A and B are shown apart, each in its own frame.
Chain A
Amino acid sequence: MELIFEKSVEGRKAVQLPELDVPFQKEILPQDAMRKDLELPEVSELDVVRHYTALSRMNFGVDNGFYPLGSCTMKYNPKINEDAARLSGFSMLHPYTPEEFSQGALQVIYELERYLEEITGMDAFTLQPAAGSHGELTGVMLIKKYFKSIGEKRSKVLIPDSAHGTNPASVALCGFECVEIKSNKEGEIDIDDLRLKLSGDVAAIMITNPNTLGLFETRILDIAEMMHNNGSLVYMDGANLNAIVGIARPGDFGIDVLHSNLHKTFSTPHGGGGPGAGPVGVKNHLKKFLPKPRVELEGGKYRLNYDLPDSIGRVRAFYGNFGILVRAYTYIRSNGWGGIRAIGENSVLNANYLKEKLKSHYHLPHDKICKHEFILTDKELSNGVTTGDVAKRLLDHGSYAPTIYFPLIVPGAIMIEPTETESKETLDWFAGLMINIKEEAETNPENVKNAPLTTQVSRLDGVLAARKPVLRYKK
């Protein structure tokens, strides 16, 4: 399809501003301060509407169909959250509006922090980080400052080999060295390897629990104890919180600092790649390092406290992705304590049910109870059909693909996370698709290897895109 630029017709306009209502002043700026050309499209309003409507129809979201992207928690995004965020009292509020006129906004921030504390069992939260990885970076900065404040120089962070790539990236961005911890045959952290690599130079371990294999780290209490006895901290990547909300709390199993993803567990929309929010929760010993400002409640009034001398500073301007916070707040209020618990129960029920239906058809590396997601591999597929092929073939049948080739420690991984908002019929249908594809690999492998056959474009050349990058339109 043509780019919007390619639809330009000279002189065409979509937007018309009112006439200038103030007297025109000539030559305010010198000529050499002004730009010459402005190469933006010239199209009509209908052109714009048709163009982006057409683009939307070449895209696939949760609203279209099943989206079992493991580790991303693609649950239904309730529309009431949208309406709430778009109330003009929220959307039109300037961040520097005097405090007495932004009490409603400060209330949302304050109360959301309390709800997240209760749900995760942590003592304090910051809602500033804009995404999970931003939260990780903030968390690692907190850890760094903690050790500085107690006069200890520790340069290493332990990271399981199953970790999401943002973990080592965030750690490295803060000047720490990453030390990899192996996973054992059961898919959990190898405690012996951990013991081997633990030293006085280790600041923290960065775990994900449930981990990226969809399994709960059953020895988490031992791990936390080992780390704490070593004077180290435990960071938890909360991307997989959906499995345990309302059932168990990270604050109870030894976590010192964690981030959560509002665009995963708390239903704020994924938006094609953001905006998200990655609030960071801490235990009391890290509270004073949290980014400033913090919202406080005093005498029935909310205020912003900037007087936080030990804070790591700011990780972004203003207060965070406020519009996203409103959506998460609305979601938590809609669900209440009962709904939150139901999320944990049903996300795990759905995943285990789907796993049960597929385990006799695909290789299941860990045949045991999973949490909210599970991994299959392409090991038993015929005729050289791979995980990548299976993913592409699913697209032909109206399902999005699961996460593939992650985590790296499981070759050919297919990570499936149904979420709690999918019905039994959808799960049965998806299982049917997967079984069909397995059979197709045996009887008609070319169909799978050449997939997708029915989408807008067939398999795209990623090598060409990287060898000869074309990253913008040029006339």
Chain B
Amino acid sequence: MSGHEYLGKIPEGLNYTKEHEWVKLEGRTAKVGITDYAQHALTDIVFVELPEAGKKAVQFKPLCVVESVKSVSDIFSPISGEVARANESLKEKPENINNDPYGEGWIAEMNVSDSNELKNLMNSAQYKDYLEAKKK
């Protein structure tokens, strides 16, 4: 993913990875997904290989796979923990990720093992700077 003009929405209150995943911490659980920038770069998403409930996730290691017409991409977990549930709506409507990447397009809900890991991630301002630097 390079050479893009489109930065997309970057909501505050979320944390972001260099590989364009987001995480929203809600107490001991977190929701994860991919950013607006990512969904735009992938173009139309056709299939999501959802992670299974109970799967152990490690920060920055592959969590699941997202397939678009153009590519099949690994999604890396922004945080360590255990998958509580995956967004089953993506089975019928993978395009939810394109249409609403931070809302209905969430991919998995996790039980977080160490919320301190958030310090390894960027906040919305930092992610915005990161994308602008990539543009050049």
Chain A residues within 8 Å of B, Cβ to Cβ: 411, 462-463, 466-467
In B55-98, which residues have CB < 8 Å from any A CB?
67, 69, 94-95
Most buried by B among A411, A462, A466: A466
> Is the Cβ of B94 less than 8 Å from the Cβ of A467?
yes
Distance in angstroms from A193 CB to nearest chain B CB is 17
Distance A101 CA – B44 CA, assembled complex (angstroms): 58
By beta carbon, the residue of chain B nearest A462 is B69
> Is the Cβ of B3 less than 8 Å from the Cβ of A466?
no
13 further A-B contacts with Cβ under 8 Å, apart from A411-B3, A463-B46, are A462-B69, A463-B44, A463-B69, A466-B44, A466-B46, A466-B47, A466-B67, A466-B69, A467-B44, A467-B46, A467-B47, A467-B94, A467-B95
Distance A411 CA – B95 CA, assembled complex (angstroms): 26
Question: Which residues from B are CB-within-8-Å of A463?
Answer: 44, 46, 69
Distance A467 CA – B92 CA, assembled complex (angstroms): 9
Chain B residues within 8 Å of A, Cβ to Cβ: 3, 44, 46-47, 67, 69, 94-95
Can you report 11 A-B residue pairs in the complex whose CB atoms are below 8 A from each other? Answer: A411-B3, A463-B44, A463-B46, A463-B69, A466-B44, A466-B46, A466-B47, A467-B44, A467-B47, A467-B94, A467-B95
Question: Which residues from A are CB-within-8-Å of B95?
Answer: 467
A contact face: mostly helix, strand, loop, or mixed: helix
Distance in angstroms from A411 CB to nearest chain B CB is 7
By beta carbon, the residue of chain B nearest A466 is B46
Distance A98 CA – B94 CA, assembled complex (angstroms): 58
Distance in angstroms from B125 CB to nearest chain A CB is 29
Distance A209 CA – B60 CA, assembled complex (angstroms): 38
By beta carbon, the residue of chain B nearest A468 is B46
Question: Which residues from A are CB-within-8-Å of B44?
Answer: 463, 466-467
The 8 A-B pairs with the shortest beta carbon distances in the complex, nearest first, are A466-B46, A463-B44, A467-B46, A462-B69, A466-B69, A463-B69, A467-B94, A463-B46
Question: Which residues from A are CB-within-8-Å of B67?
Answer: 466
By beta carbon, the residue of chain A nearest B2 is A411
Distance in angstroms from A27 CB to nearest chain B CB is 49
Distance A467 CA – B69 CA, assembled complex (angstroms): 9
Distance A467 CA – B45 CA, assembled complex (angstroms): 8
By beta carbon, the residue of chain A nearest B45 is A467
Distance in angstroms from A386 CB to nearest chain B CB is 13
Distance in angstroms from B119 CB to nearest chain A CB is 32
Question: Which residues from B are CB-within-8-Å of A462?
Answer: 69
Distance in angstroms from A70 CB to nearest chain B CB is 20
Distance in angstroms from B70 CB to nearest chain A CB is 9
Distance in angstroms from B49 CB to nearest chain A CB is 14
Distance A220 CA – B103 CA, assembled complex (angstroms): 53
By beta carbon, the residue of chain B nearest A411 is B3
Distance A347 CA – B47 CA, assembled complex (angstroms): 43
Distance in angstroms from B135 CB to nearest chain A CB is 14
Distance A411 CA – B3 CA, assembled complex (angstroms): 9
Distance A289 CA – B113 CA, assembled complex (angstroms): 52
Question: Which residues from A are CB-within-8-Å of B94?
Answer: 467
By beta carbon, the residue of chain A nearest B3 is A411
Question: Which residues from A are CB-within-8-Å of B69?
Answer: 462-463, 466
